[in-house]
Amino acid sequence: MRVRRAFAFVDLVGFSNLTAREGDERAVLLAGQFRALVRDICSRRGVRIAKWLGDGAMLVGVETSPLLGAVLELQHASTERCLPAQVCCGVTAGSVLLLEGDDYIGHAVNVASRLCDLAQPKEVLATTTVVGDLPPWATVLERLDVRVRGIDEALAVARLGLRPTDASADPDPVCGICLTPQTAVALRQDSLGQPVLLCSDSCLETWEGRPAPTPEEQGSLRVPLIGS
């Protein structure tokens, strides 16, 4: 069956060197941290983890925008959490064959994988065909033509990242991405009447579904702004 999907491959750069330098146990710990982070982001944004690839993963989205949001958040979160290995990503979308209900065969899959191979640490490379689906808080940092192994013609590729912000930007309370009113997808108010900026409908749903504090916890030193 032929379907249209968005694909991303993500990979930990330098994982083999870290394994050789710090040992298998340290590598397993890092892989576990990485997988937990990928699971958290993908489950919230509605992106499927098609398969784990050792120190990487293949991600699939029915829609392109949530997938782009997921890989950009992954880059942001891995930097903020100071993972000892950096992440690189390759993204594209296209028509492919669905094989046995859970695997995908086609040009788009191959391109996403090759772009991940070409990406530098902390880099998201995507075909320019997906740029129109970028969330408002993301941007094209650079456009370039690249040669990809197995493809005769050069590919038009965009290097993606977060929009620059200044001190006036506020972090999304769920994912931590810094936003302005112009780049936020949703705007709400907290229990103190302060504006809350959210990057996506999925972060909004998570924020609105957060547990409410008890009267004793509200305003306490332990939970000073919970529910806000």
Average pLDDT over residues 118-132: 95
Distance CA 7, CA 218 (A): 42
The confidence band for 228, taking pLDDT boundaries of 50, 70 and 90, is: very low
Average pLDDT over residues 41-46: 96
The confidence band for 102, taking pLDDT boundaries of 50, 70 and 90, is: confident
Task: Give the number of C-alpha atoms closer than 13 A to the C-alpha of residue 96, restricted to the C-beta side.
Answer: 24
Q: Where are the beta strands (DSSP E) in the chain?
A: 2-13, 48-52, 56-61, 86-99, 103-105, 124-127, 138-146, 155-162, 170-171, 178-179, 186-189, 195-198
The pTM of this model reads: 0.88
Q: What is the pLDDT of residue 103?
A: 85
pLDDT digits (tens, 9 = 90+) for 66-85: 999 999 999 999 888 877 77
Domains and CATH numbers, the chain: 2-162 (3.30.70.1230), 170-208 (no CATH)
pLDDT digits (tens, 9 = 90+) for 129-179: 999 999 999 999 999 999 888 788 899 999 999 999 888 899 999 999 999
Q: What is the pLDDT of residue 213?
A: 65
Q: Is the pLDDT of residue 4 over 90?
A: yes
